[in-house]
Amino acid sequence: MEMMFWNGVLTFAFAMSGFYIKSQAAEISRLSILLNRTREEVAKEYVTKVEVHADINRIMNRLEVLDAKLDRLMEKHT
């Protein structure tokens, strides 16, 4: 009789442990999916360093061209 009691207790304990582990695995999977979606959303909204540097370089090149034009204009009027 005592052996059947412990068999039932151990079965119940292992079943609860199994359900807990399964629920934790499902939660980890859910969080992984949410993290991947967040990464995709962040990539849509923000620019990378390379893109910022390329844009700044384009702006600086245009400013240099304008500066050269202003220098030529100032030389003609002096």
- Please spell the DSSP secondary structure of 14-70, one letter per residue: HHHHHHHHHHHHHHHHHHHHHHHHHHHHHHHHS--HHHHHHHHHHHHHHHHHHHHHH
Mean pLDDT, consecutive 10-residue segments, the chain of 78 residues?
89 94 94 91 84 96 96 88
* pLDDT value of residue 69: 95
Q: Distance between CA 11 and CA 36 in Å, rounded? A: 38
As a whole number of Å, the CA-based R_g of the chain is 33
What's the whole-model pTM score?
0.49
* pLDDT value of residue 47: 84
Q: Which amino acid is at 49?
A: K
